[in-house]
Amino acid sequence: MKRIGLFGGTFNPPHLGHLHLATQALKQAKLDEIIIMPSYIPPHKDAPDLIEGIERLTLCGLTFADTRFTISDLELRRGGKSYSVETLRTLRDRYPSDELYLIIGSDMLLSFDKWYCYDEILSLCTLLVLSRENEISSDTLRNYAVHTLGLTEGVGFLILETAPIVLSSTEIRAAIAAGEDVTTKLCDAAYDYIKEKGLYRND
């Protein structure tokens, strides 16, 4: 039986904060594999400046280079709004006897009861919550998971404490458009690809 994580996002572009989160999840939750899943259209936010799925897929491959990461085009091929529940149903069929973990940043947990079919999501996997910024305490997260979502710690959810890297794709897109250097925010291969293709530039 394998322990498989699902890490979804727009990855527009994938950055070192994402890589740090996924690497911590692998280590701390002793996962065998993490499936990196760029979304087609994110259901939880507007993304007017989303670049092509194929470019984000390529950037994910360059960023999540460890062999324990698998990059999936499942949501990009499915099209439409990328609902996690649909992805998890497919993964459950594909991996009937493995343990599935949905990896989310702590900022995403506190609105989890607004996610489409969230109760079905909870029946399909365990939530793996990683703290993104220091502002949300583990107690707040724990209370929400137990009292609002009705979960039991260790079974329905896990909270992993990580030193956060404060970074977002939004600030990276803005910096590239302004002609700034973002070497410290992206992995080298992904940044080289972005420069070569002229991605996120205004001109």
The residues that touch ligand ATP, with contacts defined as CB under 6 A, are: 9-12, 17-18, 21, 104-105, 107-108, 132, 164-165, 167-170
Distance CA 114, CA 20 (A): 27
Q: Compare residues 111 and 168 and give the one whose CB is closer to ligand ATP.
A: 168
What lies within 8 Å, CB to CB, of 114 at 6+ separation is none
Q: At its nearest, how many Å lie between ligand ATP and the CB of residue 98?
A: 21
What would the DSSP string read from start to end of 80-109?
A: SB--HHHHHHHHHHHSTTSEEEEEEEHHHH
Q: At its nearest, how many Å lie between ligand ATP and the CB of residue 169?
A: 3
Q: Compare residues 41 and 108 and give the one whose CB is closer to ligand ATP.
A: 108
Q: At its nearest, how many Å lie between ligand ATP and the CB of residue 9?
A: 3
Q: At its nearest, how many Å lie between ligand ATP and the CB of residue 10?
A: 4
Q: Compare residues 39 and 93 and give the one whose CB is closer to ligand ATP.
A: 39
| Structure-token pair, residue 193 | 């690809």
Task: Assess contact for 140 and 133: CB atoms under 8 A.
Answer: no
Q: Compare residues 107 and 180 and give the one whose CB is closer to ligand ATP.
A: 107
End-to-end C-alpha distance for the chain, whole angstroms: 50
Measuring CA to CA, which residue among 84, 180, 89, 168 is closest to residue 128?
Answer: 84
